[in-house]
Structure 1
Amino acid sequence: MKRRRIQNLVHTMIPQFLKHKIGACGARHWKRQLFYIMLYAALFLGIVGFLSQIIFLSSKFRILSKYNNIDDNLDALNVTDKTKQTPPKTFLSYKHNFSFPLEIDIAYLVNEKIQYNISIPHEPINPHPFKYMNLPEACNFKLNKSYWTENDTILVLVKSTARHYSLRAALRSIWRSVQDPGIKKVFLLGYDGINQTQIDEESQTYGDIIQEDFVDAYRNNTHKTIMGYNWAIQFCDQVKFMFFMDDDYYLKMSDLASYLRKIPEENRHNIYIGSLSKAGEPYRDKSTRWYVSTEEYPFDRYPPYIGGGAYVVSYDVAHRFQLAFPFVKYIPIDDAYLGIVARKLMIVPHRDMKFQSYYRGAIAKECSHDASQLIKQYCPLARFGFNMYIHQNKKRAKNTTLLRSLILIICILIAACCCIALPVILHLYCDGFFKEAYPQTDR
């Protein structure tokens, strides 16, 4: 009888004990159901959020691909229609296997020629068989009564088209006020039969025309550039700096002289500076004047080069260029060609914002094909280049913002996954806890 009373007392106290011990963790059935409802709701919202982020990311990647397809090249201000270009081809990789004829150590051979007058033992593959038609007097810097020395002399070579009389006249007018005995200015022209009589008269009047008998055409600009280097080395070997420019540029001559003459004496060598293109791509569209075939240049990129509109070379660099030209295969894009020659000679081009046309403080700016605008220093081409530069910076800012957004989204996804995983872990832990500690509650 006593034993039965004890058993009844135990059966009565155990549920009360369990109720007291379990408490808020699971004794009340409605609280446990509410816990499961909140867990599944959080899981559902996490999945919906994850899918929405995937959709958002895919739209952002489409926007990124759209921006990446925009041409970033500021040197070519004419935008070509991508739909008119020839189908994509497989080109050789400049990065992995660049080699350009002649495949010789031209840097070593040129140095041997300069130091020891040892002839280069190879047949030229880029001869320059043209003859002078107009020739100015050789350089004769009259520096006796001036403050400047031969280390301060500057030769300005203007690549001009034969029919651009008005642009040459405008440049002469702009520079008339600069009376500097350490500066000589010449214009580089090819042959133009229609305008040749007027060119001959211009040469006799001003004595600043260098002209050879190759046809004056855009795709002969490399011949024109080589002509300028040949003349400078032969007839102006005492000059320290050479400045090449196009005839549609506005040049602040006094600023150029002041800028170059402030370069320390020990740094006045190995100079090849201007607007740098680090990874320019050849134009493969035959409808553009910049077209270069795969036979002419088979690689996907050019070596780093300085834009041909305005740049400076020191005499030692010009001399090495001039000796190397006959042994480097010709391509019609003169600034890219100089980049190829520079790479073979191990000459490193450097960017200088003073010759970046869109830079507000530039010494030389791409101005206009209208002589009246050139004289007035109204330069729509430089302004267009500046707008392109601003557009490019905005685009880069958008890409940077997009990258930051992607990083933020990834962080949010990681946090969302943690938020989803934490309730699941808690749910599994609580279930295990209930089953292990209070197996009677599952019955």
Structure 2
Amino acid sequence: MFPRVTLLYRLLAVCVSVTIIMILLQSVDDRINHKPLTYLPAYVKHSMREIDSYGDQGIGNYSNATAQVTSLTTMHPPVNPHNFNFVVNPTTFCSSTRPEYVVYVHSAPKNHKKRQMVRQTWGAKSVCNKYNMRVVFIMGLVSDQKVMNTVKLESNTYGDLVIEDFDDSYRNLTYKAIAGLKWVSKYCSDVKYVIKSDDDILIDMHALMDQLNSTEVKSYGTRNVIMCNQWLRMKVIRDKSSKWYISKEEFPDDFFPPYCSGSVFIMTSDVVQRMYWASLQTKFFWVDDFYITGLLVKRIGIEHKRLNENYMLNARAAMEKFNGDVKHELRFFHVRKLVDVYKMWNTLEKNQNTSCSDCYTWTPPKFVNSTS
């Protein structure tokens, strides 16, 4: 009997010891998880302050954003901190109307006519109201004060410009792309889909909305989705006379891994937020299409859904392909001439049998009297 009692006491002592150790570990863990803000790295404190301010703007995925900052505490300080500020910022653009879709359009300060084209065609107020959609234009700054004065007037008129204080140049397109991700993440995240476009693109918005509500697209789910025209084995340009020249030092491989055409791509809102946070930990690369839809998409661990049959990116053949699209498969057109965009949009509106009160109506000129 005595050996058994001794063994029982030993087992009891072990159980008590384990319990005490678990309580102590939990106490330490609680102290770590509730570490005061002053003990966190500066870049994490800044991110947390940004997220705290999101609540004032009615952010929908506050918990997701907070989780992103929590993960930052285990990372090194940002390798690509994107230290730019919004100088024109319609902070209540989405919180006041709660849209289902938001489109952010890459534009340049001088491209006023292209922005007007969007506002008068697929981004017209009546189209936005029909689909509960909002459209904003993302850009940086230029040194031409006359251009910036025009932009200021335009912003006061329409309230749909988002401007960050980076130099708006070709080699800085990646900054523009990150600015778009950042703005949508902070001020317009509570949406069904986020659509990125360029300002020289015509979108058949009616057909696109039908597609986004189709059984096939719904089967993709509401998270981790990016749809686009996917490029495979795109060759890296080594010709030094080309504006797309990339040196071996910048990118050693001869072919890019899969990425999307930057003309238009569509994402669920969680992808936008995750790509923005991933950009802080991904070294800057000036080829924005590849950086955003190649490097960042790979980093967050998702795959592209191909919509290649819906794109016509040859600007010279856009009108011809549009008129010959008997199967009505095309959704996105890169169009060189604005007059062609208006004509194409008029056709799309007539096919819908809808009335667009604020859309531009193109009337062919009765005569052309010009020697130039």
TM-score range, shorter chain: 0.5 to 0.7
TM-score, length of structure 1 as denominator length: 0.55
Question: What does residue 184 of structure 1 align with?
Answer: 134
The answer for unaligned runs of 5 or more in structure 2 is 1-63, 314-320, 346-372
- Equivalent in 136, 156, 162 of residue 210 of structure 1: 162
Question: What does residue 375 of structure 1 align with?
Answer: 342
Preserved CA contact (<8 Å) 1:112 1:118? no
- Equivalent in 328, 332, 337 of residue 286 of structure 2: 332
The secondary structure found in structure 2 opposite 1:257 is helix
The secondary structure found in structure 1 opposite 2:234 is coil
Preserved CA contact (<8 Å) 2:229 2:261? yes
Question: What does residue 307 of structure 1 align with?
Answer: 261
Q: CA deviation at 1:218?
A: 1.4
Preserved CA contact (<8 Å) 1:311 1:355? no
Report 1:414-433 matches (<5 A).
none
Q: CA deviation at 1:240?
A: 1.9
The answer for unaligned runs of 5 or more in structure 1 is 1-110, 144-149, 379-443
Question: What does residue 341 of structure 1 align with?
Answer: 296
CA separation in 2, counterparts of 1:140 and 1:115? 22
Q: CA deviation at 1:167?
A: 0.8
- Equivalent in 357, 363, 371 of residue 331 of structure 2: 363
Report 1:44-443 matches (<5 A).
114=67, 117-120=70-73, 121-138=75-92, 139-140=94-95, 142=97, 153-174=100-121, 175-176=123-124, 177-178=126-127, 179-180=129-130, 182-194=132-144, 195-262=147-214, 263-264=217-218, 267-338=221-292, 339-353=294-308, 355-357=310-312, 360=325, 361-368=329-336, 370-377=337-344
The secondary structure found in structure 1 opposite 2:72 is coil
The secondary structure found in structure 2 opposite 1:123 is coil
The verdict on how the C-alpha distance between 1:130 and 1:355 changes in structure 2, with shifts beyond 3 A counting, is farther
The secondary structure found in structure 2 opposite 1:341 is helix
CA separation in 1, counterparts of 2:65 and 2:340? 48
TM-score, length of structure 2 as denominator length: 0.65
Alignment root-mean-square deviation, CA: 2.3
Q: CA deviation at 1:280?
A: 1.4
1:114 counterpart letter in structure 2:
A
Preserved CA contact (<8 Å) 1:274 1:354? no
CA separation in 1, counterparts of 2:205 and 2:254? 37
CA separation in 1, counterparts of 2:69 and 2:201? 40
Give CA-to-partner distance per residue, 1:95-148, whole Å, 9 cap, x none.
xxxxxxxxxxxxxxxx997378332421211121111121124313646xxxxx
Mark the structure with the bigger radius of gyration: 1
Greater per-residue helix proportion: 1
Preserved CA contact (<8 Å) 1:218 1:289? no
The secondary structure found in structure 2 opposite 1:342 is helix
CA separation in 1, counterparts of 2:240 and 2:340? 32
